[in-house]
Chains A and B, each alone.
Chain A
Amino acid sequence: MQIEVLAIGLPLLGAIIAGLFGRSITDRGAQFITCLFMIVAALISMKIFRDVAILGNDSVTIELFKWISSGTLDVAWSLRFDALSAVMLFVVNVVSASVHIYSVGYMSHDKCKARFMSYLSLFTFAMLMLVTSDNLLQLFFGWEGVGLASYLLIGFWNHKPSANKAAIKAFIVNRVGDFGLALGIMTIFVIFGSIQFDAIFSAAGDASNASFLFLGYEFHALSLACGLLFIGAMGKSAQLGLHTWLPDAMEGPTPVSALIHAATMVTAGVFLVARMSPLFEYAPMVQMAVTVVGALTALIAATIAVTQFDIKRVIAYSTMSQLGYMFFALGVSAYGAAMFHLFTHAFFKALLFLGAGSVIHAMSDEQDMRKMGGIWKKIPMTYIMMWIGNLALAGLPWFAGYYSKDLILEAAFADHSWFGEFAFWCGITAAFLTAFYSWRLLFMTFHGKSRADDKVIAHIHESPLVMQIPLAALATGALFAGVAFAPYFIGEHRIDFWQNSLFVLEHNDTIEAAHHAPSWVAQMPVFVAIIGIFLAYILYVVAKTIPTHIAKIFSPIHSLFFNKWYFDEIYDALIVRPLIALGRVFWKRGDEGVIDPLGPDGVSATVNVSSKTVGRMETGYIYHYAFAMLIGVVALLTLYLFKFYW
């Protein structure tokens, strides 16, 4: 048993121990065990990251045991460690370990600590299975596993109806994407006869012109497969159309938001597309769709974030917007850039969420920024952390986000296609908005006069050490992850770094092209970010009355943004209500009207009636009984003789 297996096994073990034996080992024990296991797992994944990715050793695949062997379908539980999964392992385990430790402090007032820790570890395990899989089925297992863990954690405070609703919504919206993914996997099996990555990838080039017949229509096979996979990715990564669950998921405890809905799970879609890059490279139509959807997501999410007042929702929309960046980077074949942004984003977004959690913790569970303000002196540590996180998010030079975001925009520009250009301008606008809403958040939360009531203010306190240490660890990442790893992910070492785990056709190498983009393209994002910050300073520190005026003057646009472009309302009217009406018809007319009377109710009524009939034959008169016997004899004889002389 190689030590690498522990990086995946320990979280599962922790989840089992804390989940099943939480009572006997007490909350403390459960917290200790899960945190310890996660730290060990994080250290091991650092080692894997160093060995496989940085030092460029060969990738390894460890087969644990056979799972399914049926016909031509052969699937094993196995762990594949190449550069791509090493990056994901590093991100998932480091962020997860930080969140585990942070949760010890954050959840100190909760009753079900062991259950919470168990879910966190379970989630981590599922995510690790997803990223280390070497076939699509195990990936699907991990995919569903994180969906389940996400459901459990969003609805963790199941005494709140809103949390339950959000959990169900997240689950159902994700099902739509999962359906696409499942169909995609089946399509791939039909095309390639295998769901093993190596087998698929080596055959991808030959299959580039294959077609797929369905109901008499002919599809370009790889486009169909990639399109379906992308629908799956859209669901998990909250891309426009299937994004409505992500903001609502903020009903979960804040550490959950940080781990699942910012740093790790939502990046599963990005990972999937990067993993399947050998297929996407042969499906240019899908690449175009990915780019457009990503660009729109980046822009629209940013416009919504500008108008929101709930501190966590602002960050949630910011997450969605950043995922949009990653997707259009994938769309223009800049897979390395997307993965690099995923990597840096994980640190600073987790930092922001945990910082927000620290604020919420300090403000006695208040999340509305309108009721905050002027608290920076009371919680200076958190304040500094939020600054670092926002600087990285806005992509100011030398912070982590600067390296990744800049490159994404340059790559989009360098793609020299209409959708690359489109994505570039969407991205620039979103970058401006990002800087604006980030500092709006900072100014509203920490500066100005306090708008909270006295009781809350008296209670404001800095978070305990156990919450500050993970913040510091993540802040380190937000500060240095960009500058330290840029050469490996996107710079001169990138060929050795990624080895074969990413695949780019030669003429599509936009990262190479990005390095030759004009200099104004590189400077543009920083320039708009500084304008955004400056504007936020004017509107929220100098002239605080202006924002309300602006909102009034542009009220149609403002309410469009404020109401999240009415996505929920449109879905409600177009999909949810018709479906409920249809369901009601099936229930009342179909189930209660047809199946019940013919099925369960009908059968039991028939049995009852016949039971009474048979019972009534028992008259008690002896001549009836004798008669029945003789009839029986005659019947049997007739039957026999009939048969005999036939």
Chain B
Amino acid sequence: MIDLQTFNIIPVMPEIIMALMGMVLLIFAVSQGNKSYRIVSWYVVLTCITVGAILLRFPQGVSITFGGMFVTEPFAVFMKLLVLAGASLVLLMSITYMQREKIARFEYPILILFSTLGMMVMLSANDLISLYMGLELQSLPLYVLAAFNRDNLKSSEAGLKYFVLGALSSGLLLYGCSMVYGFAGTTNFIGLAEVFALEATPVAGVVVGLVFILVGLLFKISAVPFHMWSPDVYEGAPSSVTAFFAVVPKIAAIGLLIRVSMSAFGGIAEQWQQVLMLVAMGSMIVGSMAAIVQTNIKRLMAYSSIGHMGYALIGLTAASSAGVQGLLVYMMIYMFTTAGVFAIILLMVRKNMQVETIDDLAGLAQYKPLMALCMAVLMFSMAGIPPLAGFFGKLFVFQAAMAEGMYTLAIVGVLTSVIAAYYYLRIIKVMYFDSATEQLDNVEDSGSNFVMRASAFFAVVFITIAWPIVEAIHYAVDSLLFL
């Protein structure tokens, strides 16, 4: 029987276009070899922009297809736009970088494209099956990307570590999925929601399964205690790949986490709030503590992003509309500012060699005032100093937590952001008050320079554009919660 809804491919059009573009570009690139690296990269950026434009014109409201496996609504559109923007930004700043590092192979942009496609599938997943498919589609290219500089020992090690641990987490996730299916009798999110709407207290097995699923997703956003891979992988992988890791998959994983917990398992929020609360506190504490002794700026950013995921999870732990909105604001700000910081890390070149310790930034303000200023703005924003963007992210999630009476969480959040302020401010101190030993090179890299400036600009002007953004997010969240 041909059901119209089953074969409605309109909601999937962006993903289909993306997949087709990926294959076309792959064939084209294989025929051209590595000299086509730049052109393929630009095509990928173009694809992302085109798909983004299509998504913007998407019909409002909820549409479900593929027999209930795939859903789009303003929430999914919003998250996909963020993912596409993140992927484009990372590609923009890495094109020249990959050439400098002599690893400019055409697979790089294409892997990013496929990974992004996987994330988009994740964000639209409405079934445990499509969830897993999307997750694997985004993960497999990431394993390859981590080891992209294959002649480098550290890079290979990073790829392998990520792969092994990623496989472990996938196993846990699948185990959880089977538990949930076994006890609830369905894999569909809407079906699950209906099941939990009927039962006040679920069977223990379902919740055990839920915990396993959550663990699989928490691994992707490197929340404590599933974070151990991230400092090693961040440090070992090529910096542009690290930037991608830090920015894009986290958005997708958070989006999926929101959908799973709020819509599929929204009925039993009390069961997972406790788990997320512990994970959020652990992430904030580890993220702020461990970063203090780091000397490598990429490692530092790894811990920083662990901490940021902790703050973001506060919003989800609140399990309220305001909390999810705060979380989305937080992720958006996190994405743009982190991209800017990594653009600066990519620009840290001395004598044609990438350098990555904090001391390499010494005295930056004296000879590259603009770069130092951008970095300072981004650091202040990450530390949550008003009136910069980062402050509002923290404000919204803390507000949401307070509204739900989660004072412990808010207090831990405030305390750890004080500790975290130390290492952000230390970078500023090194740039402005230490004297330069050797200067960094002037790098011809308009992509990174653009991202750096745009990001700092965003952090400064966010306060003026906050209102329409918050309105849009409000709209997106409403579409998810009142499915």
Chain B residue with minimal CB distance to A625? B228
A611-B290, A636-B275, A636-B278 in contact; A626/B165 too (CB < 8 A)? Answer: yes
B289 touches A624 (CB 8 A): no
The distance from the CB of A630 to the nearest CB of chain B, in whole angstroms, is 8
Among A607, A615, A617, A635, the most chain B Cβ lie within 10 Å of the Cβ of A615
Chain B residue with minimal CB distance to A610? B289
Tell whether A612 is near chain B: CB-to-CB under 8 Å.
yes
A624 to B232, CA, bound (A): 13
Stretch at the interface among B211-219, B255-263, B360-368: B211-219
B292 touches A625 (CB 8 A): no
Contact of A629 among B160, B168, B204 (CB under 8 A): B168
A628 touches B293 (CB 8 A): no
Tell whether B6 is near chain A: CB-to-CB under 8 Å.
no
Cβ–Cβ < 8 Å partners of A628 in chain B: 225-226, 228
Tell whether A161 is near chain B: CB-to-CB under 8 Å.
no
Cβ–Cβ < 8 Å partners of B165 in chain A: 622, 625-626, 629
A643 to B278, CA, bound (A): 14
A618 touches B212 (CB 8 A): no
A633 touches B172 (CB 8 A): yes
Interface of chain A, helix or strand or loop or mixed? helix
A607 touches B161 (CB 8 A): no
Cβ–Cβ < 8 Å partners of A611 in chain B: 289-293
Tell whether A417 is near chain B: CB-to-CB under 8 Å.
no
A622 to B204, CA, bound (A): 31
Cβ–Cβ < 8 Å partners of A610 in chain B: 289
Q: Mark A614-646, 1 if CB is under 8 A from B, else 0.
A: 110110101011101101110111011101110
Closest 8 CB pairs of A and B: A632-B225, A625-B228, A614-B290, A611-B292, A611-B289, A611-B293, A614-B289, A615-B293
The distance from the CB of B238 to the nearest CB of chain A, in whole angstroms, is 19
**Chain B interfacial residues counted at CB < 8 A:** 34
B219 touches A640 (CB 8 A): no
CB pairs A–B below 8 angstroms (13 shown): A607-B289, A607-B419, A614-B289, A620-B232, A628-B228, A632-B224, A633-B211, A633-B215, A636-B279, A637-B208, A640-B211, A641-B204, A643-B274
Tell whether A563 is near chain B: CB-to-CB under 8 Å.
no
A611 to B419, CA, bound (A): 11
Cβ–Cβ < 8 Å partners of B169 in chain A: 629
The distance from the CB of B195 to the nearest CB of chain A, in whole angstroms, is 17
**Chain A interfacial residues counted at CB < 8 A:** 28
A625 touches B278 (CB 8 A): no
The distance from the CB of A538 to the nearest CB of chain B, in whole angstroms, is 73
A600 to B160, CA, bound (A): 43
B161 touches A625 (CB 8 A): yes
A637 touches B161 (CB 8 A): no
A615 to B296, CA, bound (A): 13
Taking A626-B168, A643-B274 as known contacts, 14 extra A-B pairs with beta carbons closer than 8 A to each other, sorted by chain A number, are A608-B293, A611-B291, A611-B292, A615-B290, A617-B228, A620-B232, A622-B164, A629-B226, A632-B215, A633-B215, A639-B278, A640-B207, A640-B208, A640-B271
The distance from the CB of B283 to the nearest CB of chain A, in whole angstroms, is 12
Interface residues of B in 151-170 (CB under 8 A from A): 160-161, 164-165, 168-169
A574 to B483, CA, bound (A): 80
A628 to B227, CA, bound (A): 9
Cβ–Cβ < 8 Å partners of B161 in chain A: 622, 625
The distance from the CB of B444 to the nearest CB of chain A, in whole angstroms, is 36
Chain B residue with minimal CB distance to A607? B419
A615 to B232, CA, bound (A): 12
Q: Which residues of chain A have a CB within 8 Å of any CB of chain B?
A: 607-608, 610-612, 614-615, 617-618, 620, 622, 624-626, 628-629, 631-633, 635-637, 639-641, 643-645
Interface residues of B in 225-242 (CB under 8 A from A): 225-226, 228-229, 231-232
A636 to B232, CA, bound (A): 25
Cβ–Cβ < 8 Å partners of A637 in chain B: 208, 211
Q: Mark B267-306, 1 if CB is under 8 A from A, else 0.
A: 0000100110011000000100111111000000000000
A607 to B418, CA, bound (A): 11
A119 to B204, CA, bound (A): 77
Cβ–Cβ < 8 Å partners of A639 in chain B: 274-275, 278
Contact of A618 among B232, B278, B279, B292 (CB under 8 A): B232
A628 to B224, CA, bound (A): 9
The distance from the CB of B260 to the nearest CB of chain A, in whole angstroms, is 16
A629 touches B225 (CB 8 A): yes
Cβ–Cβ < 8 Å partners of B226 in chain A: 628-629, 632
A22 to B226, CA, bound (A): 63
A513 to B358, CA, bound (A): 87
Among B215, B271, B294, the most chain A Cβ lie within 10 Å of the Cβ of B215
Cβ–Cβ < 8 Å partners of B160 in chain A: 622
Contact of A608 among B164, B231, B292 (CB under 8 A): B292
Chain B residue with minimal CB distance to A645? B204
B228 touches A624 (CB 8 A): yes
Cβ–Cβ < 8 Å partners of A614 in chain B: 286, 289-290
A635 to B279, CA, bound (A): 11
Cβ–Cβ < 8 Å partners of B291 in chain A: 611
Interface residues of B in 61-98 (CB under 8 A from A): none
The distance from the CB of B419 to the nearest CB of chain A, in whole angstroms, is 6
A624 to B168, CA, bound (A): 13
The distance from the CB of A108 to the nearest CB of chain B, in whole angstroms, is 44
A610-B289, A640-B211 in contact; A626/B164 too (CB < 8 A)? Answer: yes
